[in-house]
Amino acid sequence: MKVLKFGGSSVANAENIQKVIDIILSQKDNHAIAVVVSAMGGVTDRLLKIASLAASADDTYKTELEELEQKHLTAVRSLLPIQQQSATLSLVKQHCNELESICDGVYLLKELSLRTQDKIVSFGELLSSRIIAAKLESLGVQQQWVDSRDLIVTNSNHSNAAVDFAITNERISTWFKANPSTYYLIPGFIAANLAGHTTTLGRGGSDYTGSIYAAALGVSALEIWTDVSGMMTADPRLVTNAKPIEHISYQEAMELSHFGAKIIYPPTILPVMLKKIPVWIKNTFEPTAKGTLIESHTEGANDFIRGISSITGISLLSLEGSGMVGIPGFSKRLFEALANEQVNVILITQSSSEHSICVGINEADTLKAKRVVDYAFSYEIQTGKVDPLVVETNLTIVALVGEQMKSHPGVSGKMFGSLGRNGINIRAIAQGSSEKNISAVIATKDVKKAINVLHEVFFETSYKQLNVFIAGAGNVGSKLLAQIQQQQLFLQNQLNLQVRVVGIANSKKALLADQGILLDEWQSLLASASVSGIDEFVAQIQEKNLRNSVFVDVTANEGVAKVYGRLLEKSISVVACNKIACSSAYDEYQQLKSLAREYNALFLFETNVGAGLPVIGTLNDLLRSGDKVNKIKAVLSGTLNYVFNHYDGSKPFAEVVRQAQTEGYTEPDPRLDLGGTDVMRKIMILAREAGQQMEMEQIENRYFLPQSCFEGSVEHFYTEMAKQEPHFKALFDKASAEGAKLKFVATYENGRASVGLEHILPSSDFYHLYGKDNLVLFYTDRYPEQPLVIKGAGAGADVTASGVFADIIRVARI
């Protein structure tokens, strides 16, 4: 014999019931088949609502009842041929009348006991099983309807009754022997106590019913037919990429279900496990899908982590105090106090100092638990040996399950490391010594993110997802978005990296799309997006709480630079081409670096110096590998290089500058470049990265622009430069007379930095530096005479965007 159990969604309406019938009748082998069914989807919830409406004297329960009756009558009418409907229609009506009388009683008394509630909800399974039985009969299939209330005997713990297996097994086998049949139809969920009062087995309990019959009858298999294609690596409602688990052991399945995998009701496994009956989880809506096989051994399976599950609605209770150290019996008293009040303990951890015990319980029991524990320890609390119980709520347990994890070191490191990198704070940890499960308690608001992070780390062979938020949609931003779009497929195929741009903001608007912005259309989407400032953008990024988030600043805006701290604190990495943060006061720069360290995020700004050239990365590598920087000499302004490469006195200096601006090689205010400020910032950033505490005021600037050029507007600056043409001409002539070129050079040596115009002779590395190129010379212990040279285009939106892009990829690879 086999037992097939069909859940609420499988029997939710006539169409689905037809699928169930097809599955039952397509069973090829000559087994007898016992079919256990749940109530039609949603009916149990509805019956509970009706009961509570009636109990609170709200007469809308009548309309609800009416609708419920119609739902079942409609199913009968759609399933059975007209000539055969009447008996079942009247049976449904009869059940509904009885149900109504009970509800009327509750309404009049304004009282609802759990016993009455069990009676009320039992109609869900009674009705569905009767209707399906009638459908089989209408097809000429003989069946025996089984009243579970006669066979499954429980205690009187209504709504969550415990089964008396000795009597139950006896009754089931006797009854089945006395009533031979090929098909049986059995209502799930319901049972009765010895006095014959209806009881129920707990929400989701039809799975358990299936298992009880399977074990009592010693069947060859239990099949649980539901609405997903098997037990999955995680709840598919939380993780879109969850995959069906082909093969899993009883213990693992039990562990996953105990830790919240709703697919199977936790007590279900034990009876079938004891009898070694294999359990299949199958999909009613995709019967050919393989599903999951649960049995004793899972040899040959490679995944040492089998699944991830979670239980929300958890409170943590912490009992702490110096009076607990070394004195036996404290934990016993704690657990006794909780047990006496029927508070179920879900998770326990105790620090090895014995200074504190921490237990996780259902949130619903919190007040009761606090009261009883404080009472049990009132003497110790009064005498200061123990603190009053500390309670934290709104928590969730996330559990990683797999029998083979004991032979794989580093699982917990990987688990906690990846949660930590994503800013998920872990409140408590428990690992059973059997090592089938590692659990962490986290804030409920983080659960979706946490499960996705863990799923990605332990199961995702296809890709890791990076969620990118970009501030700035100007020159560099547009190029960056184009590069990301062009490279997306390559990254997915070659690096297993899915780069999703989830947010784009300019100075006025912010566009956000959880599933990723369509990069073909980002301009028009952003144009029609809602108005938002940077603070709102940041608030939305934090609220989305997506895993592997990175914030990219491609603006030159001070307000944007100010938000990095708030993001790093949430473990969101920051990639900036904006130089403002790194060139602000040393303390602020340091603060950001230490926040990044503290919260396991990256703060990367390679493009602050030399655009896309690998300057900062190289410097970091030198230092990390033990080299010492003695001197840096660099031409760091693509703009100034461009200007002095194009100026030979034949065309006015002011015009050359304007041309540089038109071609996009200057800051919006070109005086930042011409006055040397931009170069000062860059050499300061290099000095700081080399370990030097340095501020802008400490840098010597040998200005070559006359002071008058700095006064007034940008236009005035151009007029003033034109007036000063002889000054520029003289600078040029003096250098030419020596056979030298003019270059604006930054120097860092002995802890001091300076910038200024220098005469560069043909023997210098800087002499052959054309266009907007930058050149950086690192003189170090390892490169004492011949410096390490980095040379190439040091300005331009394309190269800057590619440097930013490279930083983004660096974030993905931590």
Annotated catalytic residues are 682
Residues 6+ apart with CB under 8 A from 720: 706, 708, 709, 711, 712
From the list 124, 321, 423, 803, which residue makes contact with ligand ASP (rule: CB under 6 A)? 124
The window from 26-34, 37-45, 232-240, 325-333 that contacts ligand ASP (CB under 6 A) reads: 37-45
Does position 204 interact with Mg ion (CB under 5 A)? The reply is: yes
Does position 188 interact with ligand ASP (CB under 6 A)? The reply is: yes
Does position 796 interact with Mg ion (CB under 5 A)? The reply is: no
Output the smallest distance, CB 228 to ligand ADP, in A. Answer: 5
Classify 92 as helix, strand or coil.
Answer: helix
Whichever of 187 and 307 has its CB closer to ligand ASP, that residue is 187
Does position 267 interact with ligand ASP (CB under 6 A)? The reply is: no
User: How far apart, in whole angstroms, are the C-alpha atoms of residue 341 and residue 330?
Assistant: 17
Does position 154 interact with ligand ASP (CB under 6 A)? The reply is: no
DSSP string covering 226-280, please?
Answer: ESSSS-BSS-TTT-TT--B-SEEEHHHHHHHHHTT-TTS-GGGHHHHHHTT--EE
Whichever of 235 and 689 has its CB closer to ligand ADP, that residue is 235
- Reference 154, options 141, 142, 167, 145; nearest CA is 167
User: How far apart, in whole angstroms, are the C-alpha atoms of residue 504 and residue 27?
Assistant: 55
Output the smallest distance, CB 307 to ligand ADP, in A. Answer: 6
Output the smallest distance, CB 811 to ligand ASP, in A. Answer: 45
Find out whether 283 and 225 touch, Cβ atoms under 8 Å.
Answer: yes
Output the smallest distance, CB 290 to ligand ADP, in A. Answer: 14
Classify 454 as helix, strand or coil.
Answer: helix
Binders of ligand ADP in range 244-303 (CB under 6 A): 261-263
Q: In what order do the strands lie in the sheet with 437-443?
A: 345-350, 356-362, 307-320, 390-401, 437-443, 428-431
Residue 39 contact partner, candidates ligand ADP, Mg ion, ligand ASP, none, CB within 5 to 8 A by sort of partner: ligand ASP
Interaction mask 186-225, ligand ADP, x per CB under 6 A:
------------------x---------------------
Does position 242 interact with ligand ASP (CB under 6 A)? The reply is: no
Output the smallest distance, CB 249 to Mg ion, in A. Answer: 20
Helix (H) or strand (E) holding 551: strand 549-553
The window from 4-12, 149-157, 404-412, 436-444 that contacts ligand ADP (CB under 6 A) reads: 4-12
Output the smallest distance, CB 205 to ligand ASP, in A. Answer: 5
Output the smallest distance, CB 117 to ligand ASP, in A. Answer: 13
Output the smallest distance, CB 45 to ligand ASP, in A. Answer: 7
Does position 204 interact with ligand ASP (CB under 6 A)? The reply is: yes
Residues 6+ apart with CB under 8 A from 683: 632, 634, 636, 699, 746, 747, 748, 753, 755
Residues 6+ apart with CB under 8 A from 281: 223, 224, 226, 230, 231, 263, 264, 291, 292, 294
Does position 307 interact with ligand ASP (CB under 6 A)? The reply is: no
The window from 91-99, 204-212, 283-291, 639-647 that contacts ligand ASP (CB under 6 A) reads: 204-212
User: How far apart, in whole angstroms, are the C-alpha atoms of residue 499 and residue 467?
Assistant: 6
From the list 202, 236, 474, 756, which residue makes contact with ligand ADP (rule: CB under 6 A)? 236
User: How far apart, in whole angstroms, are the C-alpha atoms of residue 112 and residue 117?
Assistant: 7
The window from 80-88, 199-207, 245-253, 780-788 that contacts Mg ion (CB under 5 A) reads: 199-207
Output the smallest distance, CB 323 to ligand ADP, in A. Answer: 42
Find out whether 661 and 591 touch, Cβ atoms under 8 Å.
Answer: no
Output the smallest distance, CB 258 to ligand ADP, in A. Answer: 12
The window from 36-44, 334-342, 524-532, 803-811 that contacts ligand ASP (CB under 6 A) reads: 36-44
Find out whether 691 and 611 touch, Cβ atoms under 8 Å.
Answer: no
Does position 228 interact with ligand ADP (CB under 6 A)? The reply is: yes
Within a 10 A sphere around the Cβ of 195, how many other Cβ atoms? Answer: 6
Does position 237 interact with ligand ADP (CB under 6 A)? The reply is: yes
Length of the chain in terms of residues written: 814
Residue 271, amino acid: P
User: How far apart, in whole angstroms, are the C-alpha atoms of residue 443 and residue 432?
Assistant: 22
Number of residues located near ligand ASP, criterion CB under 6 A: 13
Binders of ligand ASP in range 43-82 (CB under 6 A): 44
Residue 676 contact partner, candidates ligand ADP, Mg ion, ligand ASP, none, CB within 5 to 8 A by sort of partner: none
Residue 189 contact partner, candidates ligand ADP, Mg ion, ligand ASP, none, CB within 5 to 8 A by sort of partner: ligand ASP
Q: In what order do the strands lie in the sheet with 190-193?
A: 153-154, 190-193, 198-200
Does position 210 interact with ligand ASP (CB under 6 A)? The reply is: no
Cβ burial of 101 (10 Å; 0-12, 13-18, 19+) is exposed
Helix (H) or strand (E) holding 575: strand 573-576
Residue 553 tokens read as: 């600043």
From the list 10, 187, 205, 422, which residue makes contact with ligand ASP (rule: CB under 6 A)? 205
Whichever of 207 and 365 has its CB closer to ligand ASP, that residue is 207
Residue 163, amino acid: V
Does position 213 interact with ligand ASP (CB under 6 A)? The reply is: no
Backbone φ/ψ region at 750: left (φ over 0), alpha (ψ -120 to 50), beta: left
Q: Residues interacting with ligand ASP, by CB under 6 A? A: 7-8, 38-39, 44, 124, 188-189, 203-207
Q: Residues interacting with Mg ion, by CB under 5 A? A: 7, 204
Q: Residues interacting with ligand ADP, by CB under 6 A? A: 7-10, 38, 204, 226-228, 231-232, 234-237, 261-263, 307, 309
